């Protein structure tokens, strides 16, 4: 096998509702995954351009160095290497969405039928509620260039966007999340069982579950726990529930609910989890959501939140700026503000004891033989399968 190529699409695991792909569609996904991986290498040239061209020019002109990531942004946006890398990266994101759209729309009605058939086998664990509204901050954007975002149904029962999300995660991350793209959930389940072997949660809440790929490993690890996975996107919930049934999992209920107004009594859960969710919440909602987490968590319960690294005072302006690329170029408008927050302050403001705050690093558990990120591979900022996880016990 050629060095440095990502795993190929035929190695990822399929389930009954996984979208079917022709050989041309697979080839397109393989090309895009490889291009994404290649661009992480090309991105190293951004740092060289910054150090050798952009920073010296700025310092010469201003008589001082950069004082903010915004100044880095202004200066770098004129650099030809950055311009070509950024245009290429944006294009891979657009192409990944369109490639997934064309193949899922082609089989849209078939996907709907498969999903409805599986959901009919277990009707009590899919709870939809027309009164739940998609928050305005979600309606305002096509998250990561996904037309129609998480909520749009082009026809009654359409689950194409959810299926597109499932199949396309491989492309965006170049296979770094494993056969079922669930390396984050697996890492979380592993961490919990090894760090707190005596902790036996009876009720677990996953907020912003999407199509549920990261909650499934937790459900597998705690088969006796009752797990509720909530989201406002109906297509995600329908597809995620069908996917769960197809995978033979019994203990997750998929429920349409809004995170800043949870339909649960106080002290309902032993563990509340979010995975790559908080950076997509806008305005003040992150505070309202964390207050709801505090309210619905039991005493001696734990909450954990997987995200890309927060920006800290000891992170260079260059690194903050390159990590912000998605905010400005990949329709992730809340990304920047969320990563600027001090999560310790956020949690304390929402009721948690500052002394109970914890932060860990988690690396995706990847069951694809050639999928794991090698130590000498450059980081693809924003897509790295190595996360910052913060949280706290409620005492």
Name the residues that contact ligand SAM, by CB under 6 A.
Answer: 135, 138, 150, 184, 208-210, 214, 230-233, 236, 258-260, 275-277, 280-281
Alpha-carbon distance 236 to 206, whole Å? 14
Alpha-carbon distance 311 to 325, whole Å? 13
For the beta carbon of residue 220, count every other beta carbon within 10 angstroms: 16
Of 70 and 251, nearer to ligand SAM (C-beta) is: 251
Of 276 and 315, nearer to ligand SAM (C-beta) is: 276
Of 150 and 180, nearer to ligand SAM (C-beta) is: 150
Q: In angstroms, what is the minimal distance from the CB of 35 to ligand SAM?
A: 22
Of 76 and 364, nearer to ligand SAM (C-beta) is: 364
Instruction: Say whether 22 sits in a helix, a strand or coil.
Output: coil
Of 92 and 281, nearer to ligand SAM (C-beta) is: 281
Of 75 and 174, nearer to ligand SAM (C-beta) is: 174
Residue of 26, 68, 132, 30 whose CA lies nearest to 316: 68
Alpha-carbon distance 240 to 284, whole Å? 28
Q: In angstroms, what is the minimal distance from the CB of 74 to ligand SAM?
A: 29
Q: In angstroms, what is the minimal distance from the CB of 281 to ligand SAM?
A: 5
Q: Report residue 283 CA to chain centroid gap.
A: 19
> What is the 8-class DSSP label of residue 373?
P
Q: In angstroms, what is the minimal distance from the CB of 79 to ligand SAM?
A: 30
Instruction: Say whether 58 sits in a helix, a strand or coil.
Output: helix
Contact 375, 386 (CB under 8 A): no
**Encoding tokens for residue 126?**
């899919």
Residue of 276, 219, 268, 209 whose CA lies nearest to 239: 209
Phi-psi region of 81 (alpha: psi -120 to 50; beta: other; left: phi over 0): alpha
Q: In angstroms, what is the minimal distance from the CB of 279 to ligand SAM?
A: 8
Q: In angstroms, what is the minimal distance from the CB of 223 to ligand SAM?
A: 20
Alpha-carbon distance 7 to 141, whole Å? 31
Of 277 and 352, nearer to ligand SAM (C-beta) is: 277
Of 50 and 178, nearer to ligand SAM (C-beta) is: 178
Burial 287-302 (b: 16+ CB within 10 A, else e): ebbbebbbbbbbeebb
Q: In angstroms, what is the minimal distance from the CB of 73 to ligand SAM?
A: 24
Q: In angstroms, what is the minimal distance from the CB of 58 to ligand SAM?
A: 35
Q: In angstroms, what is the minimal distance from the CB of 137 to ligand SAM?
A: 7
Instruction: Say whether 304 sits in a helix, a strand or coil.
Output: strand
Q: What is the largest CA-CA distance in the chain?
A: 69
Alpha-carbon distance 153 to 384, whole Å? 30
**Cα distance from N-terminal residue to C-terminal residue, the chain:** 52
Of 106 and 337, nearer to ligand SAM (C-beta) is: 337
């Amino acid at each position: 096998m050629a060095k440095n190529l990502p795993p190929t699409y035929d190695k990822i695991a399929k389930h009954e509702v996984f979208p079917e792909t022709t050989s041309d569609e697979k080839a397109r996904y393989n090309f895009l995954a490889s291009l994404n991986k290649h661009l992480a290498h090309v991105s190293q040239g951004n740092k060289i351009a910054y150090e050798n061209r952009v920073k010296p020019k700025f310092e010469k002109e201003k008589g001082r160095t950069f004082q903010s990531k915004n100044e880095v942004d202004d200066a770098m946006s004129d650099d030809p290497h950055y311009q070509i890398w950024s245009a290429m990266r944006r294009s891979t994101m657009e192409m990944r969405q369109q490639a997934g759209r064309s193949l899922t729309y082609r089989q849209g009605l078939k996907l709907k039928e498969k999903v409805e058939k599986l959901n009919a086998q277990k009707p009590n664990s899919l709870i939809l509620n027309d009164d739940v509204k998609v928050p305005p901050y979600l309606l305002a954007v096509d998250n990561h260039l996904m037309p129609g975002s998480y909520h749009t149904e082009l026809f009654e029962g359409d689950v194409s966007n959810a299926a597109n999300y499932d199949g396309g995660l491989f492309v965006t991350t170049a296979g770094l999340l494993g056969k079922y793209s669930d390396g984050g959930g697996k890492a979380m389940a592993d961490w919990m069982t090894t760090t707190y072997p005596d902790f036996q949660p009876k009720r677990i809440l996953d907020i912003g579950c999407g199509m549920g790929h990261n909650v499934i490993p937790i459900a597998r690890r705690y088969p006796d726990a009752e797990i509720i996975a909530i989201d406002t996107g109906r297509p995600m919930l329908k597809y995620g529930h069908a996917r769960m049934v197809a995978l033979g999992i019994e203990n997750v209920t998929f429920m349409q609910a809004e995170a800043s107004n949870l339909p649960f009594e106080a002290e309902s859960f032993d563990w509340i989890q979010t995975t790559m969710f908080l950076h997509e919440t806008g305005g003040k909602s992150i505070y309202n959501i964390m207050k709801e987490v505090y309210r619905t968590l039991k005493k001696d319960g734990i909450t954990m939140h997987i995200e890309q690294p927060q920006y800290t005072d000891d992170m260079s302006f260059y690194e903050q700026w390159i990590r912000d690329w998605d905010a400005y170029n990949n329709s992730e408008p809340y990304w920047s503000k969320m990563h600027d927050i001090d999560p310790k302050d956020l949690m304390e403001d929402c009721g948690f004891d500052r002394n109970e705050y914890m932060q860990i690093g988690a690396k995706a558990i990847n069951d694809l033989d050639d999928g794991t990120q090698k130590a000498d591979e450059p980081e693809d900022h924003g897509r790295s399968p190595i996360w910052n996880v913060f949280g706290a016990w409620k005492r």
